[in-house]
Chains A and B, each alone.
Chain A
Amino acid sequence: RKEVEQDPGPFNVPEGATVAFNCTYSNSASQSFFWYRQDCRKEPKLLMSVYSSGNEDGRFTAQLNRASQYISLLIRDSKLSDSATYLCVVNVAGNQFYFGTGTSLTVIP
């Protein structure tokens, strides 16, 4: 079983829409969680950390559900510039992080 699983999409949404991605993880001992963003042919970049209490950064909201072992990312008022692949990342212990395969988002004018 994969450590991290994501729906690959693609998600095609109109500008201004709200879109949500989910990600599940298999190891209940996972300690920290992140969302990364990867633009086409570029390196992944940290978008935001995910905290147990949930956290918000502008139009982006990340939530963690430890009981069900999933994390989510909500993007409100989608912009064209949000088009990218969103990677779910989980840290079980130490320095090793597990990356999901990514969810592709295209925001359409």
Chain B
Amino acid sequence: NAGVMQNPRHLVRRRGQEARLRCSPMKGHSHVYWYRQLPEEGLKFMVYLQKENIIDESGMPKERFSAEFPKEGPSILRIQQVVRGDSAAYFCASSPDRPNYGYTFGSGTRLTVV
């Protein structure tokens, strides 16, 4: 029973490039959440999605960041024109309809912008 799968584990991008982070939820989970963790800081909520719908994107920066969770395939967090300040660990979590036991997190994608 595979857990939440995130890829790539590590991603290096030059300033101005695009970064695409992928997340496949656990089997049976239809809710996906993206969090960002800057070095030496706590988890910051970014966006909550269900299949084909964004439920809450209150934590997403207004520009350059977008997320989707298509009917088929993984959820994608897309960062356009990356800047050094985007360097962080990006964690994806998933849950079933009734998350009685909280979220299950993936191992994260560590983005480094050079």
Contacts and interface: CB of A to CB of B under 8 A. Distances in A.
- Check if A and B associate: yes
Interface of A: 32, 34, 36, 41-46, 49, 87, 89, 91, 95-102
B95 interface: yes
Contacts of A89: 102
B42 A42 contact: no
B42 A45 contact: no
Instruction: Give the interface size bracket for B toward A.
Output: 20 to 34
A97 B106 contact: no
Nearest to B39: A41
Given A43-B107, A96-B56, A36 B42 contact: no
A87 B100 CA distance: 17
Contacts of A44: 43, 91, 105
Nearest to B110: A41
Contacts of B33: 97
Which 10 residue pairs are nearest across A and B when measured between Cβ atoms?
A: A101-B42, A43-B105, A34-B102, A99-B43, A102-B42, A95-B31, A46-B102, A44-B105, A43-B107, A43-B108
Interface in B71-114: 89, 91, 95, 97, 99-108, 110
B42 A43 contact: no
Interface-central residue, B42, B102, B105, by most chain A CB under 10 Å: B102
A100 B41 CA distance: 11
22 contacts: A34-B101, A34-B102, A36-B102, A42-B108, A43-B106, A43-B108, A44-B105, A46-B104, A89-B102, A91-B99, A91-B102, A95-B48, A96-B48, A96-B56, A97-B99, A98-B45, A99-B35, A99-B42, A101-B41, A101-B43, A102-B42, A102-B43
A49 B43 contact: no
